Structure 1
Amino acid sequence: MMAWLRLLGVFGVLTLVEWTGASAEQTYQYDIVVYGGTSAGVMAAVEARMLGRSVAIVCPEKHLGGMSSSGLGWTDTGNKAVIGGLAREFYHRIWKHYQKPEAWKWQKREEYGNRGQGTPAIDGERRTMWVFEPHVAEAVFEDFIREYSIPTFRDEWLDREKGVVKQEGRIRTIRMLSGKVFTAKVFIDATYEGDLMAAAGCRYRVGRESQSEYGEKWAGVQIGVLHHRHHFGVLKKPISAYWIPGDPSSGVLPRISTEPPGEYGQGDHRVQAYCFRLCLTDVPENRVPFPKPEGYDPKQYELLVRIFEAGWRETFEKFDPIPNRKTDTNNHGPMSTDNIGYNYDYPEASYERRREIIKEHETYQKGWFYFIANDPRVPEDVQKEMRRWGLAKDEFVDNGHWPYQLYIREARRMVGTYVMTEHDLLGKKETPESVGMGSYTIDSHNVQRYITPEGYVQNEGDIGVPTPRPYAIAYGSLVPRREDCQNLLVPVCVSATHVAYGSIRMEPVFMILGQSAAAAADLAISLQVAVQDVPYEQLRERLLSEGQVLEYTKK
């Protein structure tokens, strides 16, 4: 027996096809489908609705906003003047929230002072705030979704093996593991991993390019480059990599690779380290003590003991304060919350393997805090201070107060019609067809922890190179090559080298590029052209009219 049912609506079409009594294939039709519930995904969907398009967000996430609502509340912004459009509106709404007296439950607003980085907006009226609590950011994203009536399909996972159907160079449908099928005229991949882009057959890279490939000074293996304080060179004495110092036969300490690090400037498969951005608090009534993770092994932190013995005392340097006596806690130091070397296979891994990697990162990071707070070998002053802190009870309440999203600093990077390189960021060339701007320092976290020829431990891959001024991001970096796909835009896993991505990968930039991608999608649909053929002048005019900043003039 077969039945057909079609439901027409403003926001899309739902079709139940070939019902046989036991199962049904659900097909949803929209002008634009955004895959991924990141900050870029939300802004892309909002832009599409503002332009009158039917649009849906389809995403593996249950909570929207990606890192912006999952602990990264101390926003890395660079020059705030180049953040416009919907991204600026997001940070304006954050500011508006904290103007309410009831927003300050655990702290008086005057106690927090000006650490919120509050600044006038471009128009001089709509003020912004760049520091916030995770649940506040999530609420702002949910407000956007509700205000614009955007259908959102959560906990939906792309069938990466067989779920993308292409015809004549275009994606026709994408299928989820649940069986749901989505059709659209244009698709936007807003995931941190680039799963739709990869499944659609677009070219991409994982790992670091060599210096010779694009002529980039900061490309490839960076042995000897120690830009921040996240390395062993900050210590008063070197640390042996072996259980018995100086004796290789005693075995290598945990969390140190025995692989050769590679030659300076050489490309490799390695990916910069991931971590969770924790929201901690020192308010007793709102504090959850650091839990002892399942599988906890204090031996994993032997290297940390030696770092403390060498006199290191910077444990709390990146407990950045956000409102209500909470923190955005990030990696800092030779052995911190970054789980160096345990993520190389994540970008290409199966969903099952990714869950294992995420769990390993959680175990490592929970163990790091638990170790410092409880192990008797930790210096008393450090341990006493750590015990003041704990997980915030009113954050991530359905996830054990642990962030929803692992910080995927970098995964796949598309190789599109234009590849952003350090030459674009450092002002050494003119970037064509700007659809947004970045300005943050070129920033890569460590990529590996290795053994030097002398038998000491060292980190490698952490670079920090200031950009001399804000730089344009090319439309071509959002667009696959024509022969790869003609109706897909990629605002997160953009076409950029490892070096360039180190600056582009900031959350405000993802919001900017998400909005620009949706504006381009609308034009492609209206003009019935491939995304590669969207007339830039029309796109530029639209973006400028919506408050996007496409070039920088110092005032």
Structure 2
Amino acid sequence: MRLFFPLLLSILIFSCTTKQKDHFEADIIIYGGTSAGITAAVQAKKMGKSVIVVSPDRHLGGLSSGGLGFTDTGNKAVIGGLAREFYHRLYLHYEQDSAWKWQKREEYGNKGQGTPAIDGENRTMWIFEPHAAERVFEDFVKENQLEIHRNEWLDREGGVVKENGEITSFRTLSGKIYRGKVFIDATYEGDLMAAAGVSYHVGREGNSMYDETWNGVQVGVYQHRHYFRDSISAYKIPGDPSSGLLPEISPNPPGKNGDGDKLLQAYNFRMALSRNPDNRVPFAKPANYDPARYELLARVYAAGWNQTFEKYDPIPNLKTDTNNHGPFSTDYIGKNYDYPEASYERRTEIINEHEDYQKGLMYFLSNDPQVPEDVRKEMANYGLAKDEFTDNDNWPHQIYVREARRMIGAYVMTEHDVLGAKAVPQPVGMGSYSLDSHNTQRFVTPGGFVQNEGDIGVHPKQPYSISYGTLVPKKEECSNLLVPVCVSSSHTAFGSIRMEPVFMILGQSAAAAASLAIDEGIAVQDLDYEKLRKVLLEEKQVLEN
């Protein structure tokens, strides 16, 4: 017995220590280290709340630090609060001579979207390098003493515990348990929202669902320059259907205009390329490289297309934020449909497939004799930026998830809200960008030619408000969750809302609402909007025109 009791005591002590080690508690638990997640955490701290950010990713900031440096901002006057602080800090960074390592500041050119990149009057910088953005997010973490748990992945199969319509805790794959009063899903995928049993939509609604015009299938609608203007055969042997389709073309018909489907706009990586010979890594030949998969692009060139470098947008230090452009581009059309609801393993496969495709494309552009000589010569001036994404072979650590799940919440934003046809109740922020959807499918026309479908770009006449109801689920589904990224909206409305500055705005507003709901001990759906509005205005959020 004298040996038994000390042994029992040791076991109990060890058990308690293990439990303490793997159990974490805070007022607000944020799942996702995106730009929305970090601004939410900062706002929670400002309002005196304990907060833990549980991030599947090691790097913070999502696309804002993952290559999307040529910011899609729209009307910059409606970007307030911590989002504007983010761009102000980037301005301060580029005011330092030390920030201009590979290029003289006066040689930069100052090109931005609609306004100069460096806005001296408003002391903001809208165009930036990935590592500079990541440093701002890490500064937010350090200054606010934020608790960040990195590389922690939600256990999507039974890891979320709910009681009486509330999330009480969730478990990650490593076995850690996170308990909170209010939860915020700040991921691009909406995994916590889905695991909590909240309603959502994947794909395009039919126009009839919300009486919209720009939702659903849009064959023959060409609002950007990402379609085939020439009659290019879809077949391996031009004009011969028996030879089979070229790679990267779907055999499925596109569907009837206006009908809904489960298709998603294309993903890609926003590469940071360098034109400085001392800071670039040549495009390597992928191990599984097959030039045949780029035969369609060769035919586009043969037809006279010459816009290769249209979206090699300049960011500081002789770098570019390189985005998709044209009928065949870095957008890997039709290869992401199962991503939103796929397992982590399958998502990794999809991400790797996108990376292989895009790396192969860059090698093809640089080396294949079917590419015009002037293009290959210009490509020789580019390579991956050696000082970006240094722990990932200079490749972006975040794929551009343009759209995944979208919550069906207390209020659904539609194109009517975005285009100003109706007043938006309870505004918590503003957007202004166009209804912007990338292509969703590449198909064969009845004549045997190739064409793309899904590309939309309809501009609102003026900035629009975003309703608080888009951030919260229906009360009967979950009363202590806010969702500032996979917001409650139709496909068309999300095409405008889905911009990184808007995610930061909504992340901050979500955390303010969470903090007030905790103070009053109420469901997030029962919050007195006027109290929230007062806090948001004090935080310099812009809520309405």
Q: Does 1:451 align with 2:444?
A: yes
Maintained 8 Å contact 2:91/2:118: no
How far, CA to CA, are the matches of 1:303 and 1:431 in structure 2?
45
Distance 1:120 1:401 in 2: 26
Q: Decide which of 237, 248, 253 is 1:255's aligned counterpart.
A: 248
Distance 1:3 1:189, change over 3 A: farther
Contact 2:110 2:117 in 1 (8 A): no
Is the 1:211–1:217 Cα contact (8 Å) retained in structure 2? yes
Q: 2:411 aligns with which of 414, 418, 422?
A: 418
Quote the offset at 1:259 in angstroms: 0.5
Is the 8 Å Cα contact of residues 219 and 257 (structure 2) preserved in structure 1? yes
Question: SS in structure 2 opposite 1:356?
Answer: helix
Q: Kindly provide the CA deviation profile for residues 213-272 of structure 1, in whole angstroms up to 9, marking residues without a partner as x.
A: 101000100001011000002xxx310000111110011000000011100100000000
CA distance in 1, matches of 2:483, 2:11: 34
In 2, the alpha carbon distance for the partners of 1:293 and 1:220 equals: 36
Q: Which residue of 2 aligns with 1:129?
A: 125
Deviations 1:524-548 (A, max 9, x none): 0000000000110000000001100
The residue that corresponds to 1:268 in the other structure is 261
How far 1:24 sits from its partner (Å)?
Answer: 7.9
Deviations 1:168-193, CA, capped at 9 Å, x for gaps: 00000110000000000000000000
| Mapped pair 1:37 → 2:30 | no
Residue matched to 1:380: 373
1:18 positional shift: 5.0
User: 1:491-541 CA distances to partner (integer Å, 9 max, x unpaired)?
Assistant: 000000000000000000000000000000001000000000011000000
**How many Å separate the matches in 2 of 1:2 and 1:161?**
35
Aligned residue runs from structure 1 range 27-426, under 5 A: 27-115=23-111, 117-118=115-116, 127-233=123-229, 237-426=230-419
CA distance in 1 between counterparts of 2:191 and 2:308 reads 36
| CA shift digits 1:119-170 (9 cap, x unpaired) | 898xx97510100000000000000000000010000000000110000000
SS of match in other structure, 1:303? helix
Q: Deviations over 1:357-395 (max 9, x none)?
A: 000000000000001101122111111111110000000
Q: Return the offset for 1:3.
A: 6.8
- Give SS of 1:135's match: helix
Instruction: Check conservation: 1:3, 1:19, Cα contact below 8 A.
Output: no
Hey, what's the Cα distance between the residues in 1 that align with 2:204 and 2:451? 19
Per-residue Cα deviation, 1:282-310 (whole angstroms, up to 9, x for no partner): 10000100121221111110101100100
2: CA distance, partners of 1:265 / 1:149: 49
5 Å-filtered alignment, 1:531-550, equals 531-550=524-543
Paired amino acid for 2:176:
K
CA distance, structure 1, for counterparts of residue 412 and residue 11 of structure 2: 46
Partner of 1:11: none
Q: How far apart in 2 are the matches of 1:66 and 1:479?
A: 22
Query: 1:60·1:154 contact (CA, 8 Å) conserved in 2?
Result: yes
Answer whether contact 2:118 2:125 (CA < 8 A) is retained. Answer: no
| 3-state SS, counterpart of residue 107 of structure 1 | coil
Shift of 1:118: 4.9
Q: Answer yes or no: is the 8 Å Cα contact 1:4–1:19 preserved in 2.
A: no
**TM-fit CA distance, 1:479:** 0.3
Q: Given the superposition, is the C-alpha separation of residues 441 and 343 from structure 1 closer, same or farther in structure 2, using an over 3 Å criterion?
A: same
1:272 alignment partner, SS class? coil
- Specify the alignment match of 1:9 in structure 2: none
Pick aligned residue for 2:509 from 516, 538, 542: 516
Deviation (angstroms), 1:25:
6.4
Could you tell me how far apart the structure 2 residues matched to 1:413 and 1:526 are? 28
Q: Is the 8 A contact 1:118 1:128 kept in 2?
A: no
Residue pair 1:435, 1:474 contacting (<8 A) in 2 also: yes
Whether the 8 Å CA contact 1:92–1:129 is kept in 2: the answer is yes
Contact 1:2 1:18 in 2 (8 A): no
Distance 2:170 2:195 in 1: 10
Alignment pair present for 1:461 and 2:454:
yes
Contact conserved, 1:105 with 1:324, CA < 8 A, in 2?
yes
| 3-state SS of 2:125 partner | coil
Q: For 1:368 and 1:326, locate their aligned partners in 2 and report how far apart those are by CA, in whole Å.
A: 19
Q: Where does the alignment leave 5 or more consecutive residues of structure 2 unmatched? A: 1-7
Q: Closer, same or farther in 2 for the Cα pair 1:17/1:187, shift >3 Å?
A: farther
CA contact 1:3–1:18 (8 Å) conserved in 2: no
What is the SS of the residue equivalent to 1:512? helix
Q: So what's the TM-score if we normalise by structure 2?
A: 0.96
User: Aligned-pair distance for 1:17?
Assistant: 5.3
Counterpart residue number, 2:523: 530
Amino acid at match of 1:346: Y
**Partner AA of 1:403 in structure 2:** P
Structure 2 distance, partners of 1:331, 1:533, is 43
Inter-partner Cα distance in structure 2 for 1:85 and 1:72:
20
Residues 40 and 513 in structure 1, CA contact (< 8 A), matched pair in contact too: yes
Aligned counterparts, 1:454-493, within 5 A: 454-493=447-486
How far the C-alpha of 1:89 sits from its partner, in A, is: 0.2
The answer to whether the 8 A contact 2:267-2:400 is kept is: yes
Change over 3 Å in CA distance of 1:89–1:503 after alignment to 2: same
SS of equivalent residue, structure 2 residue 124: coil
For 1:537 and 1:230, locate their aligned partners in 2 and report how far apart those are by CA, in whole Å. Answer: 44
TM-aligned CA deviation for residue 474 of structure 1: 0.3
> SS at the partner of 1:152?
strand
RMSD: 1.6
2:5 paired residue number: none
Counterpart Cα distance in 1 of 2:517 and 2:60: 27
Structure 2 vs 1, CA of residues 465 and 411 (structure 1 numbering), >3 Å: closer, same or farther? same
CA distance in 2, matches of 1:319, 1:114: 14
Aligned match of 2:4: none
Distance 1:2 1:40, change over 3 A: farther
**Tell me, which stretches of 5 or more residues in structure 1 are unaligned?**
7-15
2:72 partner amino acid? D
Query: Could you tell me which amino acid in structure 2 is paired with residue 349 of structure 1?
Result: A
**Which AA in structure 2 matches 1:231?**
Y
- Answer yes or no: is the 8 Å Cα contact 2:389–2:395 preserved in 1: yes
**Contact persistence 1:240–1:455 (CA under 8 A):** yes
1:115 Cα deviation after fit: 2.2
Among all aligned residue pairs of Structure 1 and Structure 2, give the percentage whose two residues are the same amino acid: 66
Q: Distance in 2 between matches of 1:114 and 1:321?
A: 9
Matching residue of 1:506: 499
Contact 1:193 1:347 in 2 (8 A): yes
